[in-house]
């Protein structure tokens, strides 16, 4: 098996884990508030990374000042901002809809690539963004299941969830150059530890939050363990390993698989029945994501 195929299979495993994380988040949010969830999962993930680094006894890589700035931004965007947006948004929307909104990161990757001069938006990308935008409108308007009303709260929740893919696209772009010089484990670990440190005041200054977390039942703790260790530790390391051999665009393209896993798991485990609006909106989003990531290899900018 060549390195690119291994990278693609690794990303498939990451997408399955992250699809399952939407179910774990749903179960946690049934028992805790959004800020409780953010604090407990990032704290445990950071502790897991620290223990892993200590167990392996590997020296910390020597980072330049510019690389430390990248790592700080990765912690802010990929951990702190991403988790706040995801948890607060999903607390008001079903897991299936949330996963499709968060899974739109390839569109944001294209936009960020344009703003940073990596590529320019032409006809293909414009059409892709239009498709995805239409899909988001259909999804939020007609994709909700029974018991979810279209109101100001759910619209704000959808807006919060759209911050998450923008933050993750930035994390991916920042991550790629670092992986050319440093091991994936250390990069993922430092980014997570920085993000968890930023979020630590959520628990330090709220004893009541610690008390609520301590009263979690077995399902709650199982969801926390999966969300922290599998989604934030194992999947982050696997993601970084795949990003070493694949381009950011190729990695972004694979993320549209995550909502498919989430919708399947939500149907099997949460009894969230796929609605016609969800399937139609999801199809438009996936079509836009595929379109923006299927340019020919000889067209580094954009045709049209």
How do residues 207-216 score in pLDDT, each as one tens digit? 889 999 999 9
Predicted model pTM:
0.74
Which is more confident, 94 or 76? 76
Q: What's the pLDDT score for residue 296?
A: 46
Residues 77-95 have a mean pLDDT of 85
Residue 271 backbone zone (phi > 0: left; psi -120 to 50: alpha; other: beta): left
Per DSSP, 255 falls in state T
Residues 168-195 have a mean pLDDT of 88
Segment among 46-55, 92-101, 171-180 with least mean pLDDT: 92-101
Q: What's the pLDDT score for residue 193?
A: 94
Q: What's the pLDDT score for residue 279?
A: 79
Which is more confident, 66 or 116? 66
Name the pLDDT band for 255 (thresholds 50, 70, 90).
Answer: low
Tokens 């000889």 belong to residue: 298
- Structure tokens given for 41: 């999962």
The mean of the pLDDT values for the chain is 80
Q: What's the pLDDT score for residue 224?
A: 95
Q: What's the pLDDT score for residue 87?
A: 87
Helices (H), the chain: 3-29, 34-56, 65-74, 82-90, 95-102, 105-115, 123-142, 152-179, 184-199, 201-204, 207-214, 218-225, 235-245, 248-254, 257-269, 276-292
Name the pLDDT band for 302 (thresholds 50, 70, 90).
Answer: very low
Given a cut of 90, whether residue 225 has pLDDT beyond it is yes
Segment among 74-83, 197-206, 242-251 with least mean pLDDT: 242-251
Residues 172-195 have a mean pLDDT of 88
Highest-pLDDT range among 64-68, 96-100, 269-273, 274-278: 64-68
């Amino acid at each position: 098996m060549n390195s690119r195929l291994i990278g693609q299979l690794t990303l498939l495993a990451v997408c399955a884990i992250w699809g399952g994380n939407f179910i774990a988040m749903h179960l946690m949010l049934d028992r805790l508030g959004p800020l409780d969830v953010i604090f407990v999962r990032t704290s445990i993930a950071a502790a897991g990374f620290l223990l892993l680094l200590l167990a392996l006894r590997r020296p910390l890589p020597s980072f330049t000042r510019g690389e430390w700035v990248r790592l700080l931004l990765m912690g802010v965007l990929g951990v702190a901002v991403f988790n706040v947006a995801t948890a607060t948004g999903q607390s008001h929307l079903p897991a299936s809809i949330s996963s499709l909104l968060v899974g739109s990161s390839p569109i944001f990757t294209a936009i960020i690539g344009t703003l940073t001069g990596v590529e320019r938006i032409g006809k293909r990308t414009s059409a892709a963004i239009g498709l995805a935008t239409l899909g988001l409108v259909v999804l939020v308007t007609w994709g909700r299941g029974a018991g979810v009303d279209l109101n100001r709260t759910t619209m704000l929740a959808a807006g919060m969830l759209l911050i998450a893919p923008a933050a993750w696209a930035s994390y991916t772009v920042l991550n790629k150059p670092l992986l050319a010089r440093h091991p994936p484990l250390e990069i993922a670990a430092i980014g997570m530890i920085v993000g968890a440190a930023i979020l630590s005041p959520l628990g330090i200054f709220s004893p009541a939050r610690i008390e609520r977390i301590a009263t979690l039942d077995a399902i709650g703790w199982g969801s926390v363990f999966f969300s922290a260790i599998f989604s934030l530790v194992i999947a982050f390391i696997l993601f970084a390993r795949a990003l070493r051999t694949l381009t950011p665009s190729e990695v972004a393209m694979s993320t549209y698989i995550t909502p498919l896993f989430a919708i399947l798991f939500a149907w099997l485990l949460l009894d969230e029945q796929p609605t016609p609006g969800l399937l139609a909106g999801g199809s438009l989003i996936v079509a836009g994501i595929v379109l923006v990531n299927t340019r020919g290899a000889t067209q580094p900018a954009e045709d049209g």
